[in-house]
Structure 1
Amino acid sequence: MPRGWCGVSTSPVPAGRPRRICSSCALAAICWAKSAVCRPWKRPSSQPTSWAWAIRSSASDGVASCAKGSDSRSSSSMSSGARPCSSSRIEDWWISLSLLRLASSSGAARTSSSSCLIIVPIRITFAGCSTSSLMSSPRSPPSLEPEAAPIGAPSSPTTKTWGLPSLCSCSLWFMAPSWLARAGRGERGCDMGHPEARCIGVLRTVSRMAFDVAAVRGLFPALGDGWVHLDAPAGMQVPEQVATAVSTALRAPVSGPGGIFPASQRAEAIVDAARRAIADLVGADPAGVVLGPSSAVLLQRLADALGDGWMIGDDVVVSRLDHPANVAPWQRAAQRSGGSVRFAEVDIETCELPAWQYKELVTPRTKVVAITAASGAVGTRPDVRAAAEAAAEHDALVVVDASAAAPFVPLDIASMGADVVAVNASAWGGPPVGALVFRNPAMLDQLPSVALEPGARGPERMELGPHAYPLLAGVVSSVDYLASLDEAAIGPRRERLLTSLGSVKAYQAGLLANLTNGLRRLRHVMVIGDAMRRVPSMAFTVSGVKAEDAIEHLAERGVCAFADPGTHGVFAVLGVGEVGGAVRVGLAHYTNAFEVDQLVRAVAELG
């Protein structure tokens, strides 16, 4: 039998052409369908944004299907060959299922503007899986009883799956047809007499990671532009379900709250659902959730309300690690009252925020301790609990900006010791909506009201004007998206959030380690900071190259990144502006190892 690429059989099919294994690199997906043709995406990225089943659009290539399933192509770009005809019942079943998925839009089908590909994601994963050896050769019918996992197999949830033999020892999680699954369970209705059923190899046990980046990438239609999106510090791309929730709410009849008719009740239900979603995210009471346009706006309102009662000599404690949204409002409030501002400094070598200094910074006159849960600039996660304990000794209010931490680590307002937590939904792919979460909802009635209505109670006292109800519907959907990142997560939404974000944290830790090691091997690159606890955000400088020139170079190679001039925030303290600024990148839920490697290769060219 002739052998093809990577030792895979290329026995001829009825049309006389070998079965195509379609990819742009050695570790690509197997397109198991008679109409599958996968080609590299056009520039700026030469790689598909996700491992998917790519069907060439007839509008883009002029495909004319024949009666038997083959096609004639008028485009010279497809001169590599036509798809083979096949009468395989397995393939016909698979194609019918995929077409139904495409027709119902439940498979996140998308058309790329850059290459006119219709992408129907399927569950094919090469990263994060471990498989034992394959079964016997196709000459003898394989046993359909899954064997026990070998000694030392991962303890994570396992899925027993039947699929094609793996390529080059690559791990493969394949959604096999239902008749194969029935056969594995010993059910009737499985036609194992079919020739295709005999030749399909059986994976003994597939131990998969709970976080499946290939499945996550299929949820983001924006990834079809072909760019490597490492711009997560500015906000992640929007999942399809969030965009659908917003557009559905825009089309639905929604009125103002307070009425007894359905449109008004729908508005109240959306606001209530948004409060409960944010409360589940941080482990708080929905009665203490204040909603607004952004966390920066809400923090300014909070500072204005608290600052009205301050006196000369009072002070606030902020940190050099914080985003300006959690520094500037407190500086202005202290200036108006005649108070002072104290800064917690960072370690210039590791960018850590030492917790011991809060024992000295917090005094009996301290009113607020503002600290970040994670830096979106250098990724450091400070010890919030230690700072909160120092503040509690003097009854100071602890305000934590968790916008950069919420997409990557499980949050618990009580465990952090925070009194108020600020989050931004756009950080994890939600709409531009912010929230302040009060651990004690009764505190809201003690603050000066900023609402337009004098009788406002609870969180409405900190909310100005009517809500953007469609955006709040998107907030609910975005939190549900976070809770669904780990398919093994079960139980109430709060429990699913903790499980999913824990899996995200573990996955991102591996990617960040690869990125850090790759950049540090380059002599002309200096990675800023080396904190032990961090989120997947990073900054680095390139010797002899300004940050603006570096990101222009990256953009030419399809990589999205930001340049920081180093004139404010933590970069100003580190003196980054003196060397031409820093390049900022951040990983997202949909970032994979290929994109990390592409960034490292692009930066290496600057040396």
Structure 2
Amino acid sequence: MTYDVTAVRAQFPALKAGLAHFDGPGGTQTPQPVIDAVADALANPLSNRGSNTLGERNAEGIVTGARQALADLLGAQPSGIVFGRSATQLAYDFSRTLAKTWSPGDEVVVSRLDHDANIRPWVQAAASAGATVRWADFDPATGELTPEDVGAVLGERTRLVAVTAASNLIGTRPAVPEIARLAHQVGALLHVDGVHYTAHAFVDVDRLGADFFTCSPYKFLGPHIGVVAGRPELLETLQPDKLLPSTDAVPERFEYGTLPYELLAGATAAVDFLAGLGPRRDGTRRQRLESASAALEGHEHALRRRIEHGLNELEAITVHSRAAERTPTLLLTMEGRSTVEAYRYLAERHVAAPSGSFYALEASRRLGLGDTGGLRVGLAPYNDSDDVDRLLQGLTDYLRTSATR
């Protein structure tokens, strides 16, 4: 059974507007089952979690179901799934909590490949604790961040390593399991930004060696929330600031206020939607997710190759996504031309491919692109060959226009 992109596209109401979406790395469009799940949660009785009234039971069921769904998606334990407003908010929450255990002279390692949400919270937390920040660099010529790059800045006082599983700017997928091995050898914890990775790979937090793994369902067809998968036994040792009457149970001790039940219902629906994208219909949800991930990767890989082949025909374009292992995400610049203007030109032709550094400031600067970045082309489950043709034709036409347009 092949990947049926036509059937997939039919489930996304937003595609009726006629846009070719290459803006998935910033947030995907939403399928109807996810929309329905959010609406159904709001249409039925809801209240604070409990076991007495129907509203209490509905809320409890939604939360329990969402923890299990995200655990299935990530290869984690439900008791280690923490929900928050966004991955950025959760990174700040955990950085403040972990910083309580740091002392002057301790070290924190961050990478220049990362989104700023996996850099600045740690840099600022280190400053508050008097800890030292050490930077792991990547090769701008290849886009590669190697375990050796990270290992070079590890030491006996390293307390935490923060690294991405996939760059949201250029798609690079570092060898996280080997980085985890090196970090754990010196007694450090590993915080993995999986926001971009989760949309394009089958996640196994144990195989990755992540002590904390973050993702954002709105990057894989779900609603706008953030998720951390942590090791439950590790979470038990951490004491975040919290209200006195709020529970001290894990993972709830890390979640502030009433959870957005309708968004958690949507997140569960997104996981179920992803599980249905592959050929497998039997087995556990985790098994179906693995099957679906393989089918989706094959589909996205084929489209990426088509885009790359077309871009090779356009001499004025430089592709900065060059790592051997990478997601279907390409960062482009154009000789003597503005990618912001290209973005606007494409938008007028109903092709969404934005320009910027997309909060990956350190990576953009390391590539020599300053804070401006470039044009980012990212694939999602609903992209098809017609989208690719429209993108390549739009770029071809833009390069033929006057540079002073």
* Range of TM-score over shorter length: over 0.9
Quote the residue 2:309 is aligned against: 517
| Selected match of 1:330 from 119, 122, 128 | 122
- 2:333 aligned counterpart, secondary structure: strand
Equivalent-residue separation in structure 2 for 1:584 and 1:232 (angstroms): 10
Q: Which structure features the higher share of helix residues?
A: 2
After superposition, residues 178-197 of structure 1 pair within 5 angstroms as: none
- Compared with structure 1, are the counterparts of its residues 565 and 299 closer, same or farther at alpha carbon in structure 2 (3 Å cutoff)? closer
1:538 is aligned to 2:330: yes
Quote the residue 1:568 is aligned against: 361
- 1:505 aligned counterpart, secondary structure: helix
**Greater CA deviation, 511-520 or 355-364?**
355-364
Equivalent-residue separation in structure 2 for 1:358 and 1:570 (angstroms): 15
Aligned length: 397
Equivalent-residue separation in structure 1 for 2:315 and 2:238 (angstroms): 54
Quote the residue 2:73 is aligned against: 281
1:449 is aligned to 2:225: no
| Selected match of 1:257 from 31, 35, 49 | 49
State the shift of 1:357 in Å.
2.1
For residues 375-411 of structure 1, the C-alpha deviation after alignment (integer angstroms, 9 at most, x for no partner) is: 1111111110111010010110011111101121100
Asked whether the 8 Å contact 2:50–2:59 carries over to 1, the reply is no
Quote the residue 2:396 is aligned against: 604
Normalised TM-score (structure 2): 0.95
- 1:361 aligned counterpart, secondary structure: coil
Equivalent-residue separation in structure 1 for 2:387 and 2:261 (angstroms): 36
Please list every run of 5 or more consecutive structure 2 residues that lacks an aligned counterpart in the other structure: 400-405
Quote the residue 1:394 is aligned against: 186
Quote the residue 1:215 is aligned against: 7
CA RMSD of aligned residues (A): 1.4
After superposition, residues 422-441 of structure 1 pair within 5 angstroms as: 422-438=214-230, 440-441=231-232
Quote the residue 1:246 is aligned against: 38
- 1:577 aligned counterpart, secondary structure: coil
Greater relative CO, 1 or 2 (CA 8 Å, sep 6+):
2
Normalised TM-score (structure 1): 0.64
**What letter matches 2:255 in structure 1?**
E
Asked whether the 8 Å contact 2:173–2:327 carries over to 1, the reply is yes
State the shift of 1:455 in Å.
3.8
> Percent of counterpart pairs with the same letter?
37
- Displaced runs of 4+ in structure 1, greater than 6 A? none
For residues 502-537 of structure 1, the C-alpha deviation after alignment (integer angstroms, 9 at most, x for no partner) is: 111111111111111211221111111311111111
For residues 125-148 of structure 1, the C-alpha deviation after alignment (integer angstroms, 9 at most, x for no partner) is: xxxxxxxxxxxxxxxxxxxxxxxx
State the shift of 1:320 in Å.
1.1
Asked whether the 8 Å contact 1:407–1:501 carries over to 2, the reply is no
Asked whether the 8 Å contact 2:35–2:266 carries over to 1, the reply is yes
For residues 193-225 of structure 1, the C-alpha deviation after alignment (integer angstroms, 9 at most, x for no partner) is: xxxxxxxxxxxxxxx41x211111011000000
State the shift of 1:454 in Å.
4.8
Asked whether the 8 Å contact 2:115–2:361 carries over to 1, the reply is no
For residues 426-465 of structure 1, the C-alpha deviation after alignment (integer angstroms, 9 at most, x for no partner) is: 0011011111101x20222211133323542110111011
Quote the residue 1:462 is aligned against: 254
- Compared with structure 1, are the counterparts of its residues 454 and 251 closer, same or farther at alpha carbon in structure 2 (3 Å cutoff)? closer
Larger Rg: 1
Please list every run of 5 or more consecutive structure 1 residues that lacks an aligned counterpart in the other structure: 1-207
After superposition, residues 101-500 of structure 1 pair within 5 angstroms as: 208-209=1-2, 211-438=3-230, 440-452=231-243, 453-500=245-292
For residues 411-430 of structure 1, the C-alpha deviation after alignment (integer angstroms, 9 at most, x for no partner) is: 00111011111010000110
State the shift of 1:358 in Å.
2.2
Asked whether the 8 Å contact 1:451–1:465 carries over to 2, the reply is no
